[in-house]
C-alpha cells in the first residue's frame, strides 16, 4: 500500500468493502437473480399448454385428413402420433432456447437461459439441457426437476448437463456487473 496513491488506496478499500458486503449478502443476491423452482414450473406449464394448443389446432386436423396417428413401429408406444408429438416437444424447447434464450413460458414470466460462464449459448449446451436433460428427467418421472428448489443457483439436473442457469431478466445486468467486479 506504500506505493499506492491515495485514489488507489481509496478504490482498493471501497472494492474490499463491496466484496465484503456482497459475500455477506450472496444468498439474498442469488435468490434475487436466479429463477427459482415455482417460476420455472409455471413457465413449463405455460409451455405445455402452448404445445397442447398447437397439437389441437395443427396435428388433430392433420390426423383427421390423413389417419396415420394409430400406425406404429413395434409397439403402440411408438405410434406416429406419439413420435410426432415428442419431436415437436423437443424441437420447441431446443429451438426456442437456442434462438431466444427462452421458451414462450419463460418469456411471459421474464426469465431466460444463460451459460453459467456468461458466454453465448452454444447449440450443444442447449441440446444437452433441453433434449438429453429432459429425457433423463422425464424417465425419472420428473423428480430431478425438484433439485431446482434446493441447489445454490436454482439449477436443475438438465442445467448441469448444459452448464446453464436461468436468470430473471430484470436482474441480468446486476449479475453481469458482479461478474466483472470479481474476475
Number of other CB atoms surrounding residue 102 within 10 Å: 20
Structurally, how many domains does the chain consist of?
A: 2
Residue 53 sits in the same domain as residue 19: no
* β-strand pairing of 111-115 with 75-79: unpaired
Check pLDDT > 70 for residue 4.
Answer: no
167 is in which domain, residue-wise? 34-181
Phi-psi region of 129 (alpha: psi -120 to 50; beta: other; left: phi over 0): alpha
> pLDDT for 49-60, tens place per residue?
999 999 999 988
Q: pTM of the prediction?
A: 0.77
> pLDDT for 80-91, tens place per residue?
888 888 999 999
Residue 25 sits in the same domain as residue 70: no
Contact, 129 vs 97, CB < 8 A?
yes
Classified as helix, coil or strand, 159 is helix
Check pLDDT > 90 for residue 181.
Answer: no
> pLDDT for 68-125, tens place per residue?
767 767 777 678 888 888 999 999 999 999 999 999 999 999 999 999 888 899 999 9
Amino acid at each position: 500500500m506504500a506505493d499506492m496513491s491515495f485514489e488507489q488506496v481509496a478504490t482498493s478499500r471501497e472494492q474490499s468493502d463491496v466484496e465484503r458486503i456482497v459475500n455477506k449478502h450472496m444468498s439474498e443476491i442469488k435468490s434475487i437473480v436466479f429463477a427459482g423452482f415455482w417460476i420455472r414450473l409455471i413457465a413449463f406449464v405455460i409451455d405445455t399448454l402452448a404445445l397442447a394448443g398447437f397439437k389441437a389446432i395443427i396435428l388433430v386436423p392433420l390426423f383427421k385428413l390423413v389417419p396415420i396417428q394409430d400406425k406404429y413401429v413395434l409397439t403402440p408406444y411408438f405410434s406416429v402420433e406419439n413420435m410426432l408429438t415428442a419431436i415437436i416437444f423437443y424441437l420447441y424447447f431446443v429451438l426456442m432456447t437456442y434462438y431466444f434464450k427462452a421458451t414462450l413460458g419463460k418469456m411471459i414470466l421474464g426469465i431466460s437461459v444463460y451459460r453459467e460462464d456468461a458466454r453465448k449459448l452454444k447449440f450443444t449446451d442447449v441440446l444437452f439441457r433441453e433434449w438429453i436433460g429432459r429425457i433423463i428427467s422425464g424417465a425419472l418421472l420428473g423428480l430431478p426437476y425438484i433439485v431446482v428448489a434446493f441447489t445454490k443457483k436454482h439449477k436443475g439436473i438438465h442445467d448441469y448437463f448444459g452448464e446453464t442457469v436461468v436468470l430473471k431478466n430484470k436482474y441480468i445486468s446486476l449479475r453481469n456487473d458482479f461478474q466483472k467486479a470479481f474476475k
